[in-house]
Chain A
Amino acid sequence: DVVMTQSPLSLPVTLGQPASISCRSSQSLVYSDGNTYLNWFQQRPGQSPRRLIYKVSTRDSGVPDRFSGSGSGTDFTLKISRVEAEDVGVYYCMQGTHWPWTFGQGTKVE
Chain B
Amino acid sequence: QVQLVESGGGVVPPGRSLRLSCAASGFTFSNSPMHWVRQAPGKGLEWVAVTSHDESNKHYADSVKGRFTISRDNVKNTLYLQMNSLRAEDTAVYYCARDGFGTIDYWGQGTLVTVSS
Contacts and interface: CB of A to CB of B under 8 A. Distances in A.
B45 A94 contact: yes
A104 B44 CA distance: 8
B47 A105 contact: no
Contacts of B47: 94, 100-103
Interface residues of B, number: 21
B45 A96 contact: no
Interface of A is mostly: loop
Interface of A: 1, 31, 35, 37, 39, 41, 43, 48-51, 54-55, 60, 90, 92, 94, 96-97, 99-106
A103 B61 CA distance: 12
Contacts, number: 62
A60 B102 CA distance: 14
B107 A50 contact: yes
B45 A103 contact: yes
Given A37-B103, A103-B46, A105-B44, A48 B59 contact: no
